[in-house]
Structure 1
Amino acid sequence: MENEGSAAAGKWRFAGNERLTLAGAVTVRGVLDTIKGNLNGNDARPVIPLGHGDPSDFPSFRTSSFAEDAVRAAVSSAKFNGYSSTIGIPAARSAVAEHLSKDLPYKLSPDDVFLTIGCTQALEAIVTVLARPGANLLLPSPGFPYYEARAGFSGLEVRHFDLIPEQDWEVDLASVEALADENTVAMVIINPGNPCGNVFKYEHLKKVVETARKLGILVISDEVYDHLTFGSNPFVPMGIFASITPIITVGSISKRWIVPGWRLGWIVTNDPDGILTKQGIVDSIKGFLNISSDPATFMQSNSDGSFSQVYERDAELEFPKESEQDEIEGAVPQILENTPPDFFQKIVSTLKETADICYERSKEIPCITCPSKPEGSMFVMMKLNLSLLEGINDDLDFCCKLAKEESVIVLPGFAVGRRNWLRVTFAIEPSSLDDGFLRIKAFCQRHAKKP
């Protein structure tokens, strides 16, 4: 009777988790949904999506047919319908280790690799592992807001160091040292950069890790856009500096293969001196994954690690014969090892073309400044000069009105840590990107202050 009375009086004993609500309040998806809510349904023109990070809908960014065949073969073999191990199937971990070792001066072991549900779960895992009472994490500004959201939910304090736009978005190392204290556990580097489109030079990355060693912290290197570079700076994996300070690399097949929906990522410990093991980080990663979901089994590999070519297919899909099924393996080893090089060359060439369009078209709009030409990833940051516009309050107001008047979606900079900036993606069809900038130019002309 007491319970009935409490319920009748509205005194329920359960409630939502306020920390979770606050952590998820500002996300890229949430902000873009707000902006999309301003679209004019009577505008017959196609919506130009310059705020997203998923180019897979566009013909120029279709994934490799080889990767698609590898997935078909794995699924149709009926050998991958069971559970994965919590840290990833051994042969798939071996394939990732072999793949990443090509860029390193040492060879990674499968024991250094932990498979995750995309790079998002990898970020979630390492932030959770580091979240002890009183600890703080150093994040770049501008940066990828999921780190901050996840840290907030985990009770891990975040402090932001600056990236310097006039210096190709290099890390302000003085601000890193000024922010750090005895409770700082790690700093995050995103290379190639999201949202800035920068690619860090070897010399600068070495200074970053030397600073981290001086502070006694590890470096989390977000390399989800690895090798998507098209400027003068080649991609340099942070793991090459692991002898200086421990490096945890996170990555996935999402961006380079243009398959974010396939949800296969990894955490890699670059730690030749075994410091991460001694400090309990490796055991904590395993502990996190033991209480989490696993990547899809068919995206990984069979346990014996056998390697074979994916079956040939004609115009119509041919499923493997029963006698061939023992040779079929999971998708990832095939995708990492055998994707034709011309696929990557095409993607990088298209990104270079669209990055050039983005940079050159921005010069035609007086109220927008692009301080640094993008050389990697799929994004660029552009600064708004609101003093040249009438009736525009801030970056969010700019983006909402742009959506309403021109059916163009752009992410306001506040969502990535820079107010009155814009993050623009150029991973889109070249013709659509041209159209989008023509509409932005028309919008800015319409709202320009009269002399």
Structure 2
Amino acid sequence: MENGGGETQKWNFKGNNSLSKASGITVSGVLNSLMKNLNPSDNRQILRLGHGDPSHFPCFYTSPFAEDAVVDALRSRQFNCYSSTAGILPARKAVAEYLSRHLPNKLSPDDIFLTLGCTHAIEVALSVLSNPGANILIPKPGFPYYEAVSANTDLEIRHFNLLPEKGWEVDLDAVGALADENTVAMVIINPGNPCGNVYSYEHLQKVAETAKKLGILVIADEVYEHLTFGKNSFIPMGVFSNIVPVLTLGSISKRWIVPGWRVGWLVTNDFHGVLQKSGLVDSIKDFLNISSDPVTFIQGALPQIFENTNEEFFTKIKQILRQGADSCYEKVKEIPCITCPSKPEGSMFVMVKLDLSVLSDIQDDIDFCMKLAKEENMAILPGSAVGMKNYLRITFAVEPLTLEEGIERIKAFCLRHTK
């Protein structure tokens, strides 16, 4: 570039290349890449079966009581101010009361730290645990945002397997083998993303006992809390805080179908005061002082959202998800190159396995999804994005006709590429 005098101007700044790598392993990053492969001449509706956001579909619209709560909070003019860094007291009190309904011990507002959705809670948790040499254990398959955040911290990631033949339970023997004196925490996601599993009380107790033996805390990602429709009910990991300290991460995004409202929480389930004594609670407060806060009027709506949303709304949502899971599980059986290890019992996803041996020109799961996007005008998530090569993650949290059409397109694609 030349300046006005004809000389070449040198600029001292450039983009941060490390962000591209971190972005590329997130769900959004992978799906955005897939969307670039869509055929612009294909006039069929674009089907998005890769992302867990059913809020676009009328059958998944949120409760009118939740909408009214937001309107009332906004019009009250009491919540146009800055939030305190931990969240406004009425909202923290409401979250504490809401979560305590399913815990043996009662949470205090001081145990609650409000965040910009559950992804922000992940950032807080990993950042305060980050010290030179420290490592954290995360599930494979899992939610790739943990890897993306850790890429910009001092935390080393170590993966333990989930066992498809056991309903995606944690391989606890592998956890013990991976941990060392520098291991600080393990992550569990329950109900499961991407697998749709729901852990039993007995399995969660074993997780707690394993973590205690290793001297590490448990990060319990419970953003899909109570979205269960199988044999196991949702059990909060905080039930076992008398065994091991727990950081619970959650939000209203999934249960109320409002991911764009961006309010979540990080909760210290600290029965013996271990997190307080270790300085971790102070580190959380320090991190929030240099972080962003959730929108104040959404916080202001939380007490009314929790109090007024009726059980019929939750029952309806779970029924739609159950029907979607059943339909997806049964229809996948008709596709020759795909098998489903276990029927989903919670969350909004199912993991299915690719049999590449019956396909003629598909190299791996990423190639499958790229060509599927181009040929069928739709997106599903390659398993490599969540740590499972040659698997696929499909969301069933869409309208029934959309799901049916999506499975039919996948079937047509597979038959077209069968040897």
TM-score, normalisation: structure 1: 0.90
- Report the CA distance shift for 1:194/1:150 in structure 2 as closer, same or farther (over 3 A): same
How many Å separate the matches in 1 of 2:78 and 2:239? 37
Please state whether the residue corresponding to 1:154 is helix, strand or coil.
coil
Partner of 1:148: 147
Q: How big is each residue's C-alpha offset from its partner over 1:298-318, in whole Å with a ceiling of 9 and x where there is no partner?
A: 112xxxxxxxxxxxxxxxxxx
1:429 alignment partner, one of 394, 399, 402: 399
1:22 CA drift (Å):
2.8
How many Å separate the matches in 2 of 1:27 and 1:227? 25
Q: How big is each residue's C-alpha offset from its partner over 1:178-214, in whole Å with a ceiling of 9 and x where there is no partner?
A: 1100000000000000000000011011011100000
Q: Tell me, yes or no, if structure 1 residue 236 matches structure 2 residue 240.
A: no
Partner of 2:276: 277
Q: Tell me, yes or no, if structure 1 residue 343 matches structure 2 residue 285.
A: no
How many Å separate the matches in 2 of 1:401 and 1:147? 28
Partner of 1:169: 168
Partner of 2:127: 128
Please state whether the residue corresponding to 1:294 is helix, strand or coil.
coil
Amino acid at match of 1:181: D
How many Å separate the matches in 2 of 1:295 and 1:436? 35
Q: How big is each residue's C-alpha offset from its partner over 1:71-122, in whole Å with a ceiling of 9 and x where there is no partner?
A: 1111122221110101001111000000000000010011000001111110
Gaps of 5+ in 1: 1-6, 301-329
- Report the CA distance shift for 1:410/1:180 in structure 2 as closer, same or farther (over 3 A): same
Query: Percent identity, aligned pairs only?
Result: 66
Partner of 2:67: 68
Please state whether the residue corresponding to 2:158 is helix, strand or coil.
strand
8 Å CA contact 2:321–2:397 kept in 1: the answer is yes
The 5-angstrom pairing of residues 314-325 of structure 1 reads none
Q: How big is each residue's C-alpha offset from its partner over 1:1-38, in whole Å with a ceiling of 9 and x where there is no partner?
A: xxxxxx9573x444433443332232111111111111
Please state whether the residue corresponding to 1:382 is helix, strand or coil.
strand
The 5-angstrom pairing of residues 404-443 of structure 1 reads 404-443=374-413
Please state whether the residue corresponding to 2:136 is helix, strand or coil.
strand
Q: How big is each residue's C-alpha offset from its partner over 1:134-170, in whole Å with a ceiling of 9 and x where there is no partner?
A: 0001000000000011011112100000000000000
How many Å separate the matches in 1 of 2:92 and 2:33? 39
Q: How big is each residue's C-alpha offset from its partner over 1:254-305, in whole Å with a ceiling of 9 and x where there is no partner?
A: 00000000000000000011000000110000001011111111112xxxxx
How many Å separate the matches in 2 of 1:18 and 1:281? 31
- Report the CA distance shift for 1:425/1:275 in structure 2 as closer, same or farther (over 3 A): same
Amino acid at match of 2:261: W
How many Å separate the matches in 2 of 1:130 and 1:419? 29
How many Å separate the matches in 2 of 1:88 and 1:42? 48
Please state whether the residue corresponding to 1:373 is helix, strand or coil.
coil
Amino acid at match of 1:218: L
Amino acid at match of 2:274: I
Amino acid at match of 1:141: K
8 Å CA contact 2:24–2:30 kept in 1: the answer is no
Q: Tell me, yes or no, if structure 1 residue 352 matches structure 2 residue 314.
A: no
Amino acid at match of 1:100: L
Amino acid at match of 2:276: T
8 Å CA contact 2:220–2:249 kept in 1: the answer is yes
Amino acid at match of 1:333: P
The 5-angstrom pairing of residues 47-86 of structure 1 reads 47-86=46-85
Q: Which stretch of structure 1 is more off in the superposition, 73-82 or 239-248? A: 73-82
How many Å separate the matches in 2 of 1:199 and 1:445? 33
How many Å separate the matches in 2 of 1:71 and 1:80? 11
Partner of 1:384: 354
Partner of 1:298: 297
Amino acid at match of 2:142: G
Partner of 2:209: 210
Amino acid at match of 1:342: E
Q: How big is each residue's C-alpha offset from its partner over 1:300-344, in whole Å with a ceiling of 9 and x where there is no partner?
A: 2xxxxxxxxxxxxxxxxxxxxxxxxxxxxx210010121011000
Partner of 1:446: 416
How many Å separate the matches in 2 of 1:18 and 1:159? 23
Partner of 1:261: 260
How many Å separate the matches in 1 of 2:310 and 2:347? 20
How many Å separate the matches in 2 of 1:42 and 1:284? 53
Q: How big is each residue's C-alpha offset from its partner over 1:215-265, in whole Å with a ceiling of 9 and x where there is no partner?
A: 000000000000000000000000000010100000000000000000000
Partner of 1:40: 39
How many Å separate the matches in 2 of 1:236 and 1:107? 15
Partner of 1:107: 106
How many Å separate the matches in 2 of 1:65 and 1:414? 38
Please state whether the residue corresponding to 1:221 is helix, strand or coil.
strand
Moved over 6 A (4+): none
Please state whether the residue corresponding to 2:335 is helix, strand or coil.
coil
How many Å separate the matches in 1 of 2:41 and 2:23? 32
Partner of 1:372: 342
Larger Rg: 1
1:39 CA drift (Å):
1.0
How many Å separate the matches in 2 of 1:383 and 1:128? 34
Q: How many residues align?
A: 415
How many Å separate the matches in 2 of 1:147 and 1:398? 25
Amino acid at match of 2:334: E
